[in-house]
Amino acid sequence: NVNKWLPPLPGQSRSPCPGLNSLTNHGYLPRDGNTPLTPDMLITACKNGFNADADLINFILGAAANLGIPQNFTLGQLNIHNAIEHDASLTRQDCYFGECFKLNIKQFTNFMSHVSNGRTLTVQDMVNCRHNHFNYTIANNPTYLLTGMQYFLAYGESSFIHLFFGASGTWEVPAEFLIPFFLEERLPFFEGWNPPADPVHLSQVFNFISTLQSMPATGP
Ligand code: HEM
Ligand code: MG
């Protein structure tokens, strides 16, 4: 199977993005992680792996270029701090604390602790987690930067978790999909996931970001 999951070998690179890393581990993108990625390669991979519409990927690539990411970037070039990579990521450390590109197990555990019903990450759980983690960064990282654009990106990434892995309508995401996606950077096919039946468009992401930003955080 060409799209079999294989973890990276020594010398192969990965990025701060669990989505692109998973596509790479399944061979939708070159497995070495060092090959420069063209817009066509990214659009095709995100379509085949996630059923992301080209309008969404083109928007991300436009934003990436504006934020100083080189054309035909490698996965490693996405690590440039304060280009797309930003503080207060859910599962990666701020640059100030350590490596911003690889999963941090303490942060992942904290993220999963927001699954309040024990089975699925609800939209409210995500709002609470995002809110708490922004506050954590503001309180603990003396060098933190969170511009309007960076808030927007962070909420956009959170939207991806719901729109690509959640049940259409409730947008609840099974915990059993999140664990392989983040820990192994593997698409959770064995756990019963399939890409969304309908292509995920830019407009849906914008709407989802507005929803997340307008919901008050709840709980302790
Ligand atoms: C985070 C790039 C597509 C899911 C990131 C980050 C970058 C990035 C640079 C790091 C931001 C940070 O947290 O500091 C890209 C590019 C894409 C793309 C260039 C397309 C061309 C996707 C797709 C998914 C995805 C299709 C699908 C699930 C995520 C998630 C995060 C993230 C969930 C947040 C991780 C966290 O907060 O710990 N992306 N991404 N991305 N990306 Fe992507
Ligand atoms: Mg980050």
Nearest to 197 by CA among 170, 168, 177, 159: 168
Alpha-helical segments (H) within 2-122: 18-25, 39-50, 54-66, 105-112
Taking the CA of 74 as reference, the closest ligand is: 1
| Confidence label for 2 from pLDDT (cuts 50, 70 and 90) | confident
Cα(117) to centroid of ligand 1, in Å? Answer: 26
Kindly report the average pLDDT of the chain as a whole number: 97
Taking the CA of 85 as reference, the closest ligand is: 1
Q: What is the DSSP string of 49-78?
A: HH-B-HHHHHHHHHHHHHTTPPTT--GGGG
Cα(198) to centroid of ligand 1, in Å? Answer: 20
Mean pLDDT in residue range 49-65: 98
Burial group, residue 74, by CB count within 10 angstroms (0-12, 13-18, 19+): middle
Decide: helix, strand or coil at residue 4: coil
- The pLDDT, as a whole number, for residue 198 is 98
Q: Model's pTM, two decimal places?
A: 0.98
Q: Domain spanning 18-214: which CATH class is it, in words?
A: mainly alpha
Nearest to 60 by CA among 160, 164, 165: 160
Cα(85) to centroid of ligand 1, in Å? Answer: 9
